[in-house]
Structures are given as C-alpha cells and as structure tokens.
Structure 1
C-alpha cells in the first residue's frame, strides 16, 4: 500500500473546480493510476481512498492506494512535489492490542425503508441512505464500524468514547452518464484513539476503507502514535 501526500495550489483553476465538485476531484485523483481492462471499477482495483484535510494555509490531499501512483502530470495542480510513502512496514507491524491515534473522514448514514401507504397488500419498498446528524449517533455508527472492522474505541478519562466528531459542509458533485446524477455527501471527521482487536479485519479496513462514499473523500483511516496526556 502507498500513501501520497499532495499539496494543491489553491489558486489553480483545476483545483478550484475539483474543490466544488466531488466527481471532478475523483477524476483528478484517478488520473494518477493506469486504466483497467477488467470489469472491476478502477478505484476498487487500485484500492484508492482519499481525504482532503484543511491545512494552516490551503489543503493537504492524502491518497492511499494498492498501486503506486504517478503524479507527474499534476505539475500545475500542485504547489510542491508529491510525496509517496510505502505503508508496507506499518501494516506488517500491526498487532492486536496496539493503540493508535486516528483520523477518519466518515459518511455516517442509515438506511430507512419507505413503504407505500396505499394498498397494504401491495407494499413497494426501496432502501434509502440518509445522513446521521446527531453527534452521539455518529459516534455509535463509528463504534459499530469498529466491531465489523477489527478495532474498538476506548474510553477517555471521563468514561466517554475517546473520539471527537467534526461536521463539515455538505459536499456535492455531478456524475455524468446517460443522465446527470447529483452526488451528495455529508462528511464527518473523527479524531481520537482506537485499539486493534482483529489484525486481519483491521488491515482490510485500512486497505479498503470504512463506510460508504469511498470514491468521494470518505473512508480513509489514518494512523499515528497515540497521544500522551
């Protein structure tokens, strides 16, 4: 696995376009990877995840992938050369019981089932994904994700989950095809600590992402040494 650290030039027209349109940002990021001929979508094939973090001045764009990318074509897009790091040593050293500080831009959602209120014998259903808006419920969503993906959120000194949530403005974009589809993502950033409970499940979560909207800036789980009080 590889982690790219990119510093966009905020004055560049292409970045301003991408910053306003999730699908355009997705296209720019995928331009760093070779096309695929198999039926698997390119993002899935290369296991691409990304996150745009606000920085002190501008933004930092993190891109994680199974395939080593090439960013040479983004000279006018970036304000400094891209940095690419091999994550294999970190992943190989992961073990159950280890604690890390983490950051995750998540898209906490729930599915609501809509039922036709007409004839009860002809109930038409379709699943719909809706954003989870209450901070407590957003943390509950993360804890459930951890149970599936091999990590747990420990308690802090106040016996609360050791994680903070920060809501970001809703992100939108237009996906072209036979018709234009509007994309909408309600991102929430999680910053806190986690403990690995299942090594294999956790490595899969790091590699493949956590939660929905992985093509659109969500799901990338970043690790750092735990903070000491």
Structure 2
C-alpha cells in the first residue's frame, strides 16, 4: 500500500473545476492508475480532499499500487517535484500495536437505512444523518468493528469538526443530482484490534468512497 499527497494549484481553471466536482476528482484519481488496477485484495484506492485556508488544497490518496501522478500534476498541480509525495504505507501498517494512541482524521458519509413499511423485507433506503450528534454517534457505533476506540460516550476523544452537503451531476447532461452528506472527524483514537484497523485504513469506512469519503489517516500524537 502507498500513501500519496498531491498539492493542487487553485489558480488553474481546471483545478477549480476539479475542486467543485467529486465526480471529476474521482476520475482524476483513477487516471493515476492503469485501467482496473486501482484495487486488489490488499485494499482499494481511497482519497480525501484537505483544505487549509482558502488557497491550500491537498489530495490525500491511499492505494494498493504506486500511482503515476504526472498527468495529475501537469493538469492541476504546481511544479513537478513540489506537487506530489508518495511513500510506502507498510511501515505504519506493520507498526500498529495494541493500546497505541494516534491522532486521526476521517471524512465519511454517515448514513442509516430506512425501511419502507409497505415492503418490510426489502433493503432499506440509505438516508444521511443530519445533526453533528447523529454523525458522531454513527462513527462511535462503528469504532470497535474498525479496530479502535474514541474514549467514551460521556468523554469522547474526537469530534465532528465540519459538515457539508455535496451536490453534483455524474454527467453534465444528467437531470438528477447526486447528493452526499459528508462529515469530517478528528481527534485521538486508541488501537483495540490491529487487523481490523489495518483493514479500515486500507479499505475505508462507510459508503461513498468514490466521492472522497472513507479515508482514515493517522498521525503521531507528538
């Protein structure tokens, strides 16, 4: 697995169009790999857009093979060598230990299934959680199965620090828009299951992974 950070130059018109459309960003991410080679048994390609201020945009990407970012940098980045950085993810994955505490960030699509009373046997429709409390509870309920804890319900070590509703069309000619409710989480987690956490880091958490949701990243406390 590889972790890649790409800096995006918002002064470029193409970059501004890219930043405005998760569908275009998804296509640009897949364009860094040969067709069909963005996922395998070890993991899938996940991405997240991080923003600092109004002009600093970074695309973070985790992938099972090393990406070729030359085309991305030419179209959306700054100078070659200054726009991209790729490193092996294996040292972090192999270094996980029970009880470790890490700072984390996650952008996710917190949803729940709503059943149709007229068709109780049918699969429920996915509906986004709206409030920050509901969104936090969604992640708290999934923490253990993904190999970590975030304190307790009464004394959590994380929070929802931003929320946004994304609206976009998959194709310019589409009449209907895709809507994705995205929540960003940050804080401190503690490792409770190494294998489950590795799986979460490589395969993502929750739905809408094609649209910048699901990527969990860790950083040392100090």
Aligned to 1:64: 62
Shift of 1:182: 2.9
TM-score (norm 2): 0.88
Is the radius of gyration larger for structure 1 or structure 2?
1
Aligned to 1:17: 17
**Unmatched 5+ residue regions in structure 2?**
none
For 1:180 and 1:69, the matched residues in 2 are separated by 34
Shift of 1:168: 2.8
Residue by residue over 1:73-126, the C-alpha shift from the partner in whole angstroms, topping out at 9 and shown as x without a partner, is 12131023311111111111101111111000011111101233xxxxx77845
Residue by residue over 1:124-148, the C-alpha shift from the partner in whole angstroms, topping out at 9 and shown as x without a partner, is 8452111112222212111111121
* Change over 3 Å in CA distance of 1:199–1:138 after alignment to 2: same
Question: Which secondary structure does the structure 2 equivalent of 1:104 belong to?
Answer: strand
Residues 111 and 129, structure 2, Cα contact 8 Å, conserved in 1: yes
Aligned to 2:94: 92
TM-score (norm 1): 0.85
What is the correspondence of 1:94-109 to structure 2 with a 5 Å cutoff? 94-109=96-111
Question: Paired residue for 2:49, among 49, 52, 56?
Answer: 52
For 2:146 and 2:115, the matched residues in 1 are separated by 25
Residues 49 and 214, structure 1, Cα contact 8 Å, conserved in 2: yes
What is the correspondence of 1:135-214 to structure 2 with a 5 Å cutoff? 135-155=132-152, 159-176=154-171, 182-214=177-209
| Cα RMSD for the two superposed structures | 2.4
For 1:26 and 1:180, the matched residues in 2 are separated by 20
Q: Name which of structure 1's ranges 11-20 and 64-73 shifts more when overlaid on structure 2.
A: 11-20
Aligned residues: 215
Question: Which secondary structure does the structure 1 equivalent of 2:96 belong to?
Answer: coil
Residues 143 and 153, structure 1, Cα contact 8 Å, conserved in 2: yes
For 2:99 and 2:19, the matched residues in 1 are separated by 38
Aligned to 1:130: 127
